[in-house]
A and B are shown apart, each in its own frame.
Chain A
Amino acid sequence: MINTKKKGLATLRRSTLTAITLILFVMVVIAGFISPYFLDMYNLQSLIRDLAFVGMIGIAQSLLLLVGELDLSVGKIASLCGILAGMLMVNGGVDPFLSLGIALILGLVFGLINGLLITKLRLNSMVATIGMSSVYGGINLVLTKGKAITQIPESIYSLGKGNIGPIPIPFLFTLGVLLLVLFLTKKTKTGRYIYAIGNNREAASILGIKVDKIRVMIYAIVGMICALAGILYVARLGSSQSTIGEKWPMMSIASAVIGGVALTGGTGNPAGALVGAAIISVISNVIVLLGVSVYWQSAVSGIVIVLAISFSSLSTIISEKKQKKLG
C-alpha cells in the first residue's frame, strides 16, 4: 500500500518538467487564438527578449534552490554591475568589452561576498540577501545619485538589441547559460554534490562533501550570471539605470518554482526555470495584448502565477487524497 502511494508521487514529480512544458505550449496556442497579434514576429521577439532576462536569473536562482537556499539580491547585483560597467565605459574610458569583462568578475565577487557571509556567519540566506540587496542598491545610489548613465558606446548595443537570424541575442546567452548550468548539474561530480546537499545537508557532510565550499561557489556563479544579465540589459536600453532588475528576485523564484524546482531543495531541473519564465512572460504579454487595464495587469498576472505555482502541489494533494480513499 505504502509502496504504490509513493510510486504515484514519484512519477508525478518526475514528469513535472514535461507537464509544465506542455502547459506552456497549450498557453501559446490559446494566446495565438485569442489575440491575432500574439504570433506576430515583432511581438514574439520582444517577448523572448523579455523572458531571456527573467529566464537567465531564474536558472541562476534554481541553482541556489537546489541546495535549499535563495538569493534576493540578484536584481541589485545585476543593476550595480550594469552601472559599474557603464561608468567604466563612459566615465573611465575603458574599452567597452573589457568593461563588460570586469563587470562580470565584479558580479562574481558580489556573489562570493553573499556566499561567504551566509556560510561563515551561518546566516539564513533569505534574510542575509535582503540585507545585501540594500547594500548593493545603496552603493548604486551613492555612485549614480539616482541618475542613469547615458552615452553607452554603441558597439555593445547589439548584445542587447540584436538578433541572430530571428532569435534575440540575449536569449542565445540564456540558452548558453542553461547549457553550462545543465552540464554542471547533470554531468559533473559537483552537480551531484549540489543535489546531495539539497537532499540532506547532514548526510552530505558525513559523506565528506565540502558543503560550504560548494554553497559559496554557487553564490559566486549566481553573482556572475546576474552581472551578465545586468550588462545585457544595459546594452538593450543603451543606458545604465539603477532600476534594472527590480522585479527579478521574485520573478526568478516564481519561474524556478513553476518549473518544478522545489523551494526546499534537492529536486528539480534548472531547465524548468526557463520554461517557468516563459509561462510568466506569455501571461504578461497576453494581458497587455488583450488590453487589460493597466491598473489590473499586475493583479491578473499575479493570480495566474499563483495558479501556476499551485500546479505541482495540487497534483500531490490530489494523489494523496486518492490514496487516502483507497487506504
Chain B
Amino acid sequence: MKVLEAKKITKLFPGVVALDDVDISIYSGEIHCIIGENGAGKSTLIKCLTGVYKPDAGEITINGKDAGKERSLFRRVAYVPQEINLFGHMTVAENLFLPYEKTGVNGLINQKELNQRALPLLKDFAINVEPEMLVRDIPVSAQQLIQIVRATVCQDYQILMLDEPTTSLTTEDTVLLFDIIRKIKATNKAIVFISHKLEEIFELGEVITVFRNGKRVAHERMPNVDLAWVITKMTGRAMNQDETFYSEKVTDEVLLEVNHVTGACFTDVSFKLRKGEILGFTGLVGAGRSELMQAIFGYLPAYGGSVKLNGKPFKLGETNYSVRHGFIYLPEDRKKMGILPMLSVRENITIPSLSKLTRYFSISRKRESALTEAVISAYNIKTPDAEKKIQFLSGGNQQKVIIGRSMSCDPQVLVFDEPTKGIDVGTKAEIYRLMKKLAEEKGIGIILISSEMEEVMKCANRIIALYHGEIYGEFACGEKKERILSAIIGVQADSKGSYAHD
C-alpha cells in the first residue's frame, strides 16, 4: 500500500537548487534505500518528507491526503537523525518519552511508571541498559538504538526514516539493528533507509532510489541492480568539463612529511607532500579529513606522531607557529572559522600581515590601503569598496579574500578545506585555476580536502582516501572514479591490497 507520495518536489536555497522536480513513493512493508553523494539532496528530501522544510513546489500526500494542508499527517513519519541528539543528563526512560504530550504522559511525571513503560521497549530492541541510567553513561551504540526506539514510541507512525543509523555502530550492533528493522517492517510499516555503506544497502534494501545534484536519477528494485550500477548512477560520470587543474610542475622535493599522526578522529596517518603538488584528500563527511589537517596545523590536539616541514621538525599544537612557518589552513566553514564578519574587507585582508605594515607601533594606513588594493585586484575580489563589511560579500568573494590574505603570509603549504563549498560553478573554476597557479608558479604544496569526487579528480595530482580516520588508498590522478569511491566507502581493497575492515 502506498503510504507516502511526493510529486514534483522542488526546494531552493539561495544560489542552489537543492531538490529539482523530485518524485518518490513509499510503500508500507517495504525497505526503501536512498543513496547519493554528499550534497545530492538526500537530507533536503528527508527534511521535506518529515515536514521540517516546506518545499517551494510540489505536493506531499500521506495516506492519500495532502500533508501540506494537514500538517499533523507528518506525525505518521518517524525520523531518526544521523547525529545522536539525546539529553545526556536525563535517564533512558525520560529520553524515551520526551516530549511527554506525544506519549500520553501528561501533567505530573511518575518516574516509576516511566521506567515500567520503558522496560518492554528496551527488551524488544535488545538494548542492555536500565531505564534509570543516564544516557551519557551508556555506550554510543545503545544511544543510537535508543534514538530509534524513541522515534517509534512517540507516535502512531507508519513510516520509519533512518538517516545513516550505522555510523556509530559496531558490526554486531549493526546485525542486531537490521534484525530489528526487519521486525518493524514485518508489522507492515514502511522503512526509508539512508546509508553511504553500499554493502548495507544490498543486504537490507528492497527498492533503491539514487540522487545526484538534487535530481532523482534512478529508481529500481534491488534484485535488478548490482554495485557497478549503483556507483555509475551515483556518480553519473558526468565529467563533462574536460578542463583539469592539477599541477604540471610537481618537483621531487618533499615539502611536508607527516609520520604516524594520531588524533581524536584519525589514527596513524602518514603521507608526503611535494613542492608544487596538489594532494587531494577525500572521504565521507566524518572521515577525519578536516580534523587531521587541523591537528597538523595546531588547531586541534594531536596525540602522537611527528611532522617535518622542509626536512626540519615541525612543532604541533600551536597555530601561531604554523602560520609563521608558512603552513596555512583555509577552513571549510568560512563563516564560523574564516572571516571576521563585522570587520571590513580591508581589515580582513591585512590581518595576517599587520607586523609588516606597522611603523612606530601604529599601522600605516597608506601601506595598508596599498596592500588591500593589491590583493583585491590580484584575486579579482568583487566588492563595492574596501570598507565594506566582509559578511555582505558573496561566499566566493569571501573565499578569495581568505586565499588572498593567506598569500601575504609567504605560505609553503596551503590546506584548502572544501574550498568550493556553497560556491557557484563559475567561481569554482576560478578557484581551481588559482590553486594550480599557486602550485606551479610559487612551488606551494597544496592539500585539497574535498567531498566532491569530481573536484578532487580534476585538481589533485595524487588522491588519498580516508575512511574512519585511516588511509584506505592512495591513487594517482587519472584513476578510475569507481575505485576511489569504493575506497572512501570502505567496501573494497585499496590499491595496495590491504582490506577494509569493519
Are B341 and A207 touching (Cβ within 8 A)?
no
In the complex, which of the residues A10, A193, A203 contacts B337, with contact meaning CB atoms closer than 8 Å? A203
Question: Complex Cα distance A205/B337, Å?
Answer: 9
Are A207 and B392 touching (Cβ within 8 A)?
no
Are A200 and B337 touching (Cβ within 8 A)?
yes
Count residues on chain A whose CB falls below 8 Å from chain B CBs. 26
In the complex, which of the residues B323, B340, B358, B361 contacts A208, with contact meaning CB atoms closer than 8 Å? B323
Are B355 and A208 touching (Cβ within 8 A)?
no
Is the CB of B302 closer than 8 A to any CB of chain A?
A: no
A10-B389, A205-B299 are contacts. A189–B355 as well, Cβ < 8 Å?
yes
Is the CB of A6 closer than 8 A to any CB of chain B?
A: yes
Are A206 and B329 touching (Cβ within 8 A)?
yes
Q: Which residues of A contact B14 (CB under 8 A)?
A: 2
A-facing residues in B365-423 (Cβ within 8 Å):
389, 391-392, 409
Contact pattern, A 187-207, Cβ under 8 Å of B = 1, otherwise 0:
111001101100110111111
Is the CB of A114 closer than 8 A to any CB of chain B?
A: no
Q: In the complex, which residue of chain B has the Cβ closest to the Cβ of A192?
A: B354
Query: How close is B231's CB to chain A, nearest CB, in angstroms?
Result: 36
A196-B343, A207-B323, A208-B352 are contacts. A187–B361 as well, Cβ < 8 Å?
yes
Contact pattern, A 290-307, Cβ under 8 Å of B = 1, otherwise 0:
000000000000000000
Is the CB of B170 closer than 8 A to any CB of chain A?
A: no
Q: Which residues of B contact A196 (CB under 8 A)?
A: 340, 343, 347, 351
Contact pattern, A 204-231, Cβ under 8 Å of B = 1, otherwise 0:
1111111000000000000000000000
Are B337 and A6 touching (Cβ within 8 A)?
no
Are A202 and B336 touching (Cβ within 8 A)?
yes
Is the CB of B362 closer than 8 A to any CB of chain A?
A: yes
Residues of B in contact with A, size category: 20 to 34
Q: Which residues of B contact A193 (CB under 8 A)?
A: 351, 354
Is the CB of B331 closer than 8 A to any CB of chain A?
A: yes
Is the CB of B363 closer than 8 A to any CB of chain A?
A: yes
Query: How close is B418's CB to chain A, nearest CB, in angstroms?
Result: 14
Are B319 and A183 touching (Cβ within 8 A)?
no
Query: How close is B326's CB to chain A, nearest CB, in angstroms?
Result: 11
Query: How close is A149's CB to chain B, nearest CB, in angstroms?
Result: 39
Are A266 and B342 touching (Cβ within 8 A)?
yes
Q: Which residues of A contact B392 (CB under 8 A)?
A: 3, 6-7, 10
Are B342 and A267 touching (Cβ within 8 A)?
yes
Query: How close is B126's CB to chain A, nearest CB, in angstroms?
Result: 40
Query: How close is B322's CB to chain A, nearest CB, in angstroms?
Result: 7
Is the CB of B320 closer than 8 A to any CB of chain A?
A: yes
Are B347 and A206 touching (Cβ within 8 A)?
no
Are A206 and B337 touching (Cβ within 8 A)?
yes
Q: Which residues of B contact A3 (CB under 8 A)?
A: 392
A189-B355, A206-B329, A208-B324 are contacts. A195–B361 as well, Cβ < 8 Å?
no
Are A195 and B329 touching (Cβ within 8 A)?
no
Q: In the complex, which residue of chain A has the Cβ closest to the Cβ of B390?
A: A199
Is the CB of B339 closer than 8 A to any CB of chain A?
A: yes
Question: Complex Cα distance A267/B340, Å?
Answer: 11
Contact pattern, B 328-360, Cβ under 8 Å of A = 1, otherwise 0:
010100001111111100010011101100100
Q: Which residues of A contact B323 (CB under 8 A)?
A: 207-208
Question: Complex Cα distance A210/B341, Å?
Answer: 19
A7-B392, A196-B340, A200-B340 are contacts. A207–B362 as well, Cβ < 8 Å?
no
Q: In the complex, which residue of chain A has the Cβ closest to the Cβ of B335?
A: A200
Q: Which residues of A contact B347 (CB under 8 A)?
A: 192, 195-196
Are B389 and A199 touching (Cβ within 8 A)?
no
Q: Which residues of B contact A203 (CB under 8 A)?
A: 331, 336-340
Contact pattern, A 1-36, Cβ under 8 Å of B = 1, otherwise 0:
011001100100000000000000000000000000
Are A195 and B340 touching (Cβ within 8 A)?
yes
Question: Complex Cα distance A2/B323, Å?
Answer: 35
A10-B389, A206-B329 are contacts. A192–B337 as well, Cβ < 8 Å?
no
Question: Complex Cα distance A253/B36, Å?
Answer: 52
Question: Complex Cα distance A84/B354, Å?
Answer: 40
Q: In the complex, which residue of chain B has the Cβ closest to the Cβ of A200?
A: B340
Which of B339, B343, B350 has the most CB atoms of chain A within a 10 A radius of its CB? Answer: B343
Query: How close is B76's CB to chain A, nearest CB, in angstroms?
Result: 34
Are B391 and A6 touching (Cβ within 8 A)?
yes
Q: Which residues of A contact B362 (CB under 8 A)?
A: 183, 187-188
Are A206 and B343 touching (Cβ within 8 A)?
no
Question: Complex Cα distance A224/B363, Å?
Answer: 25
Question: Complex Cα distance A188/B357, Å?
Answer: 10
Query: How close is B110's CB to chain A, nearest CB, in angstroms?
Result: 36
In the complex, which of the residues A2, A192, A195, A200 contacts B363, with contact meaning CB atoms closer than 8 Å? A192
Question: Complex Cα distance A266/B391, Å?
Answer: 13
Q: In the complex, which residue of chain A has the Cβ closest to the Cβ of B364?
A: A187
A10-B389, A209-B320, A210-B320 are contacts. A195–B343 as well, Cβ < 8 Å?
yes
Query: How close is B48's CB to chain A, nearest CB, in angstroms?
Result: 23
Question: Complex Cα distance A196/B358, Å?
Answer: 17
Question: Complex Cα distance A195/B339, Å?
Answer: 12
Q: Which residues of A contact B358 (CB under 8 A)?
A: 188-189
Q: Which residues of B contact A208 (CB under 8 A)?
A: 319-320, 322-324, 352, 409
Question: Complex Cα distance A204/B323, Å?
Answer: 12
Which of A183, A189, A207, A267 has the most CB atoms of chain B within a 10 A radius of its CB? Answer: A207
Query: How close is A28's CB to chain B, nearest CB, in angstroms?
Result: 31
Query: How close is A51's CB to chain B, nearest CB, in angstroms?
Result: 28
In the complex, which of the residues B338, B342, B391 contacts A206, with contact meaning CB atoms closer than 8 Å? B338
Q: Which residues of A contact B337 (CB under 8 A)?
A: 200, 202-203, 206
Q: In the complex, which residue of chain B has the Cβ closest to the Cβ of A265?
A: B342
Q: Which residues of B contact A267 (CB under 8 A)?
A: 342
Question: Complex Cα distance A267/B358, Å?
Answer: 22
Q: Which residues of B contact A200 (CB under 8 A)?
A: 336-337, 339-341
In the complex, which of the residues A6, A189, A204 contacts B354, with contact meaning CB atoms closer than 8 Å? A189
Are B343 and A199 touching (Cβ within 8 A)?
yes
B-facing residues in A153-209 (Cβ within 8 Å):
183, 187-189, 192-193, 195-196, 199-200, 202-209
Q: In the complex, which residue of chain A has the Cβ closest to the Cβ of B340?
A: A199
Q: Which residues of B contact A189 (CB under 8 A)?
A: 354-355, 358, 363
Question: Complex Cα distance A271/B109, Å?
Answer: 54
Query: How close is B412's CB to chain A, nearest CB, in angstroms?
Result: 14
Q: In the complex, which residue of chain B has the Cβ closest to the Cβ of A262?
A: B342
Query: How close is B388's CB to chain A, nearest CB, in angstroms?
Result: 8
Query: How close is B284's CB to chain A, nearest CB, in angstroms?
Result: 24
Of the A-B pairs whose beta carbons lie under 8 Å apart in the complex, a sample of 5, sorted by A's number, is A192-B347, A195-B340, A195-B343, A200-B340, A203-B336
Excluding A192-B350, A202-B337, A210-B320, 17 further A-B contacts by CB distance (< 8 Å) are A3-B392, A6-B392, A10-B389, A187-B361, A188-B361, A195-B343, A196-B351, A200-B336, A200-B340, A203-B337, A203-B339, A205-B299, A206-B331, A206-B337, A207-B319, A207-B323, A267-B342
| Chain B interface residues (CB < 8 Å from chain A) | 14, 297, 299, 319-320, 322-324, 329, 331, 336-343, 347, 350-352, 354-355, 358, 361-363, 389, 391-392, 409
Q: List the 5 closest pairs (A to B, CB-CB), nearest first.
A: A208-B323, A187-B362, A199-B340, A189-B354, A208-B320
